[in-house]
Structures are given as structure tokens and as C-alpha cells.
Amino acid sequence: PQSIVLFYKKPDETFAAKMVAIYHDGKIDDTEAAPKERAKKIDGNPFLCGLDFIWGLTLDADSARYAGKVVDPDSGKTYKCEVWFDTQKQTLVVRGELLIFGVNQYWPPAPPEQK
């Protein structure tokens, strides 16, 4: 794994996702409690851990997917985003989109000892 991400409900009833831990060399060494790495291309250079990098997710009842926005911390660019759970693969699918093009990432659940 590269990081641990927490999805949560915000007071405005939308959902967001933030990094709570980052792995380096197979070990967690950057956490929300003790952040180190910063998002250099985002205004204010916030820490990566604790940063809402996916936000505004709302359920599209027709597709059973959540739609919102995602920011690439390396470039600072914002994209449309869709998130859904693939029951066949038992993994979360996160899709960033620009116009008609998109890329899917498959995020497995955290092992029980890390939940």
C-alpha cells in the first residue's frame, strides 16, 4: 500500500476523503497526527495527511456512484471524480475524469490490523 485514506461524511451531508497515513519503504512514517510531506502544488502547501483531496461526493441514484471532485496534490489540478464499490473485485474504484477521458484506480480495503 501507498497510503491509508478515510472517507467520511461532512456536516453539509456530502462525503470527502483524506489521507490519514502514508507509507515509505513499506512502513507508515507520515500520519495525520505527525504530518511531514506537503502538497507543494496546492495553495498554502498543506500537509498531505489530513488533506481532503476528494470532496463534494454525492450519490447519483441512477448509477449508484458518488460524484464529486479530486485534486492531484502533485500538480494542483482538480478533476471530476466518481467513486463506487466493485462488489465483484471487493475493492473501491476511484475514477478521475477530464472531459471524456478518465483513469480508474482500484483501492483495496485496509487489512484488519490497520482499521
Coil/strand/helix, residue 113: helix
Coil/strand/helix, residue 53: strand
Q: Which positions ≥6 away from 60 have C-beta within 8 Å?
A: 66, 67
Q: What is the pLDDT of residue 13?
A: 95
Residue 73 grid coordinates: 496534490
The DSSP string of 74-90 is TT--EEEEEEEEETTTT
Q: Bridge partners of 111?
A: none
Instruction: Give residue-wise pLDDT tens across range 18-73.
Output: 999 999 898 999 999 999 999 989 999 999 999 999 999 999 988 889 999 999 88
Residue of higher predicted confidence among 10 and 112:
10
Q: Which helix (H) or strand (E) holds 66?
A: strand 65-71
Tell me the pTM: 0.85
